[in-house]
Amino acid sequence: MRVLGIETSCDETGIAIYDTEKGLLAHQLYSQVKLHADYGGVVPELASRDHVRKTLPLISAALTQAQLSANDIDGIAYTAGPGLVGALLVGACIGRSLALGWQVPAIAVHHMEGHLLAPMLEDEAPEFPFIALLVSGGHTQLVRVDGIGDYQLLGESVDDAAGEAFDKTAKLMGLDYPGGPRLAALAEQGQAGRFQFPRPMTDRPGLDFSFSGLKTFAANTIAAADDNEQTRADIARAFQDAVVDTLVIKCRRALKETGLKRLVVAGGVSANKALRSELQSFAEKIGGQVFFPRPEFCTDNGAMIAFAGAQRLAAGEHVGKQIKTYPRWPLEQLQVPGENAP
């Protein structure tokens, strides 16, 4: 079965074609970074308009890349939420309309389920059950995964997500948008230990996260420190070390409490080199395994949507003709494939 995946939840237009027998056949991605850079963040209306311009040409490019036509597509998966409502509507309307015109089923995919399953696109895919750390600009969650659609939320951020804290701190330091990757690059030049940042919510039981206070601590440190390149790099290093240590501590706690040894890390922040290194070292120490998607599938992309949609379509799940999007859609509301869609 060949499934066309459409991702338009925020500022990246992702299109892919996944074959349940042959794997990923095509992958097209357009980033709106340059469009939003002048504003220092995503402008929802501009994002929606750009998705309108780019989605259909990217679908054509994906079909050409896979050497397929519309007649070769067996289903269409699109991101229905969570995300920016206008951006979601673009992908949902196009996906549902094409499915109707091509006379194939359509499936509404949860954006975070796409991220959670992204490591399964790799040759060495994780087996169920496992703990998933979903860490991005909008979400920081620890989830127990016993199967596709069988999710138990163990902990989440009570305020800023980790990626959001990266971006806001980068902005405080005067770094260009997108700030998170730029702060991480600057941190590589920093000296460890010069500045000491707290590890929030690690001194109490539980698996929830809080990064808003860490951002405030960074703002105060920046204001009190000398303004030179090395100092900025040292502050970036201290901030990143604090975020990474916090995530590692919580992952360790989640694995210990559940007795599991497999950890999946996905979402935009999962591309962070320091986080990957620390979690890999930790997994080796406990005799466990950690799985990451390749860097190009850490950020939003159509491949993860096509894959997630294929799993649900294979189980007979699909949506009706009515187009619905879910800007706020808790992951734990999802059901095992084959059960009724939301």
Q: Which segments are annotated as binding site for Fe cation?
A: 111, 115, 300
Residue type (1 letter), 84: L
Buried b (16+ CB within 10 A) or exposed e, 218-250: beebbeeeeeeeebbbbbbbbbbbbbbbbbbbb
Q: Are 320 and 115 in contact (CB under 8 A)?
A: no
> What's the rounded Cα separation, in Å, for the pair 262 and 44?
37
Concatenated DSSP letters of 216-281: HHHHHHHHHS--SHHHHHHHHHHHHHHHHHHHHHHHHHHHHHHT--EEEEESGGGG-HHHHHHHHH
Q: What is the CA radius of gyration of the chain?
A: 20
User: Which residues line the annotated binding site?
Assistant: 111, 115, 134-138, 167, 180, 272, 300
User: Which residues line the annotated binding site for substrate?
Assistant: 134-138, 167, 180, 272
Residue type (1 letter), 275: L
List, edge to edge, every strand of the sheet that includes 150-156: 150-156, 140-147, 130-135, 262-266, 289-291
Closest CA to 50 of 95, 88, 87: 87
Furthest C-alpha separation in the chain? 64
